[in-house]
């Protein structure tokens, strides 16, 4: 159960060529529409794009799905060309077997000449026909598309997202691969290939405790597959013998030698004999105890992301129509739900319309990219921050009509001066999308010295979509979790009345299980607020 007050829910408050298909796919994936610039976002150079990643945004997944459809179309066309060539050669072969077999030869000069012409001319044509390359355009499409496939690091990050969901929501692996996520049955399940991909990513990062259950599940899924499916897996590069060996070697790395022997004896394959000798040798020569899997207590993140935040006293908290912050609110009050008095935190309802949300999502889609959040101190180049898995884009306060309206609305919501506040950041999360616990104010004095507008006095988080499962904004020190709902806006103060950072505003985003989380962030800075919120020093 979240700590949202229920009172505001009461009735009292209201066909192409391969070349054109390749161009279309690449435009869809990489082209930034010029017409959106006036209604749009910050330049790529200003946003510091690093690498195209699909796993960090549901929007990118939609593009990838369209890209996959184009590739499948080309593959189907290639199959049609091969079948047409096979049928042609089969017809020629049937004709030649009928007219130039030994039985058809009658021993006269006409037959001899027919055979001579046939051997000199017809077989040359057959050879020429067989040497002709097939599906040139289809092969070219696939080759030129290859740089735009998801990278190995992208697949690895998606694998870690799957593991993150399992860990935070404490999902049973058997349920997870069958499509049961946090008690909800979904229509998608994992095959042997997906299970192995997650296991391999964890194994390569030496996360053996986490990788072994996935490897075990991989072998179990493979045993349940049909012979036809097993052959397809092998054609796609899956090797069950190597997977079996990897599982046993993982047990050995955790000093679980008896379990390794049991796994070998349970399915004694010839390729495991040498591995069995190694295990027996290590058992006799090593005194190391098995490395036990850590079993930490449930964290606040795990409790609250599943809707189980501990109860906190809320007898002073209220929900009402806000008509007092600015004179305008007397005409159009906000539905207001106070979540915390210290630090101040309030949830506004229905402050952004579905049409406005859709407009901002559509404006953002062509520009959404994974942004760099950290810098490599040696190369001075932007690098991926693994603590935040999302794609984003920036909007200036005068970017378009919707943002301009939101800017005025934010001023009415907060009574803060908005002229020198920061630009808006649009976020969309992907597989296991999350943001590790952090604060929005600047903890480093050096960082503040570089800012002419001071620290971030407050944050407004607009929710532009519903998230059916997962994706809550969580404040673990306050035991507050807020489930995204289209039209809501969450406001909190990052600084106290002396201008000091409120450490209780540490917040994070729970991993998303189902749906697409769109959020728009606005940071309001302190130096333009001396008469709106004076410091009590």
The pLDDT tens digits for 125-140 are 888 888 888 888 888 8
| 490 vs 312: which has the higher pLDDT | 490
| 374 vs 326: which has the higher pLDDT | 326
Q: Of 192, 179, 176, 88, nearest to 132 (Cα)?
A: 88
Residue 20 has pLDDT above 80, yes or no: no
CA distance 485 to 325: 24
Q: pLDDT for 22-60, tens place per residue?
A: 444 444 443 333 333 333 444 333 444 445 677 888 888
CA distance 292 to 76: 50
Residue 103 has pLDDT above 90, yes or no: no
Q: Rounded to two decimals, what is the model's pTM? A: 0.78
CA distance 154 to 386: 11
pLDDT at 288: 83
Please classify residue 432 by burial: count the beta carbons closer than 10 Å to its beta carbon, then call 0-12 exposed, 13-18 middle and 19+ buried: buried
DSSP state of 367: G
Q: Which H or E run includes 347?
A: strand 344-349
Q: Considering the chain, what percentage of its residues have pLDDT values greater than 70? A: 83
Asked if residues 490 and 529 have their Cβ atoms less than 8 Å apart, the reply is no
The 424-429 sheet, strands edge to edge: 319-322, 334-341, 344-349, 489-493, 456-463, 518-525, 424-429, 390-395
Please classify residue 324 by burial: count the beta carbons closer than 10 Å to its beta carbon, then call 0-12 exposed, 13-18 middle and 19+ buried: exposed
Question: Mean pLDDT, the chain, as a whole number?
Answer: 81
Range of lowest pLDDT (91-105, 142-156, 443-457): 443-457
Question: What band does 69 get if pLDDT is binned at 50, 70 and 90?
Answer: very high
Q: pLDDT for 195-239, tens place per residue?
A: 999 999 999 999 999 999 999 999 999 999 999 888 999 888 999
pLDDT at 43: 37
β-bridge mates for residue 495, sequence order: 501
For 307-318, letters b (16+ CB in 10 Å) and e give eebeeeeeeebe
pLDDT at 507: 93
Ramachandran quadrant class, 147 (left: phi over 0; alpha: psi -120 to 50; beta: rest): alpha
Asked if residues 222 and 240 have their Cβ atoms less than 8 Å apart, the reply is yes
Q: pLDDT for 297-309, tens place per residue?
A: 777 778 888 877 7
Residue 385 has pLDDT above 80, yes or no: no
pLDDT at 316: 58
pLDDT at 47: 42
| 163 vs 312: which has the higher pLDDT | 163
* DSSP-assigned states of every residue in 77-112: HHHHHHHHHHHHHHHHHHHHHHHSSGGG--SSHHHH
pLDDT at 490: 97
* DSSP-assigned states of every residue in 466-510: --SEE--EEETTTTEEE---TT-EEEEESB-TTS-B-GGG-EEEP
| 276 vs 381: which has the higher pLDDT | 276
How many other CB atoms are there within 10 angstroms of residue 537's CB atom?
6
Report helix angle 208-224 to 240-253, nearest 10: 150
pLDDT at 175: 93
* DSSP-assigned states of every residue in 118-175: IIIIIHHHHHHHHHS---HHHHHHHHHHGGGSPPHHHHHHHHHHHHHHHHHTT--HHH
pLDDT at 216: 95
Q: Of 310, 314, 408, nearest to 356 (Cα)?
A: 408
Q: What is the mean pLDDT of residues 358-362?
A: 95
pLDDT at 349: 94
């Amino acid at each position: 159960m979240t700590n949202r007050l229920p009172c505001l829910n009461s009735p009292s408050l209201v066909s192409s060529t391969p070349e054109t298909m390749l161009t279309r796919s690449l435009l869809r994936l990489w082209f930034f529409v010029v017409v959106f610039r006036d209604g749009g976002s910050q330049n790529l150079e200003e946003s510091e794009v690093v690498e195209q990643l699909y796993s960090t945004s549901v929007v990118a997944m939609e593009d990838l799905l369209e890209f996959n459809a184009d590739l499948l179309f080309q593959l189907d066309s290639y199959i049609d060309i091969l079948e047409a060539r096979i049928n042609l050669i089969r017809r020629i072969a049937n004709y030649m077997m009928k007219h130039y077999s030994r039985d058809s030869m009658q021993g006269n000069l006409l037959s001899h000449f027919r055979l001579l012409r046939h051997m000199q001319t017809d077989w040359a044509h057959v050879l020429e026909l067989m040497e002709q390359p097939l599906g040139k355009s289809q092969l070219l499409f696939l080759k030129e598309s290859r740089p735009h496939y998801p990278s190995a690091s992208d697949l690895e990050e998606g694998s870690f997202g799957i593991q993150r969901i399992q860990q935070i929501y404490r999902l049973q692996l058997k349920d997870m691969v069958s499509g049961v996520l946090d008690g909800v049955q979904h229509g998608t399940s994992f095959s042997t290939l997906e299970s192995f991909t997650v296991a391999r990513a964890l194994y390569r990062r030496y996360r053996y405790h986490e990788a072994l259950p996935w490897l075990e599940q991989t072998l179990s899924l493979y045993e349940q597959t049909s012979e036809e499916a097993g052959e397809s897996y092998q054609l796609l590069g899956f090797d069950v013998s190597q997977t079996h060996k990897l599982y046993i070697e993982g047990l050995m790395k955790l000093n679980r030698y008896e379990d390794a022997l049991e796994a070998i004896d349970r399915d004694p394959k010839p390729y495991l004999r040498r591995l069995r000798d190694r295990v027996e040798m290590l058992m006799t020569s090593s005194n190391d105890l098995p490395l036990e899997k850590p079993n930490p207590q449930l964290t606040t993140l795990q409790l609250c992301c599943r809707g189980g935040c501990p109860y906190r006293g809320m007898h002073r908290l209220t929900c009402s129509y806000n008509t007092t912050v600015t004179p305008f609110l007397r005409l159009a009050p906000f539905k207001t739900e106070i979540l915390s008095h210290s630090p101040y935190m309030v949830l506004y309802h229905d402050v952004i319309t579905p049409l406005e949300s859709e407009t901002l999502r559509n404006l953002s889609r062509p520009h959404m990219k994974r942004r760099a959040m950290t810098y490599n101190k040696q190369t001075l180049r932007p690098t991926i921050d693994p603590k935040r898995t999302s794609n984003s884009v920036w909007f200036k306060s005068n970017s378009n009509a919707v943002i301009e309206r939101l800017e005025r609305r934010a001023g009415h919501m907060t009574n803060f001066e908005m002229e020198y506040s920061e630009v808006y950041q649009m976020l969309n999360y992907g597989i296991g999308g999350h943001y590790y616990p952090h604060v929005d104010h600047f903890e480093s004095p050096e960082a503040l010295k570089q800012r002419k507008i001071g620290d971030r006095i407050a944050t407004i988080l607009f929710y532009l979509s519903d998230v059916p499962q997962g994706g809550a904004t969580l404040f673990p020190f306050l035991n507050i979790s807020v489930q995204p709902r289209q039209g809501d806006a969450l406001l909190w103060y990052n600084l106290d009345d002396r201008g000091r950072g409120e450490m209780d505003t540490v917040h994070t985003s729970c991993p998303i299980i189902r749906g697409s989380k769109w959020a728009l962030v606005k940071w309001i800075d302190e130096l333009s607020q001396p008469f709106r919120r004076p410091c009590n020093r």
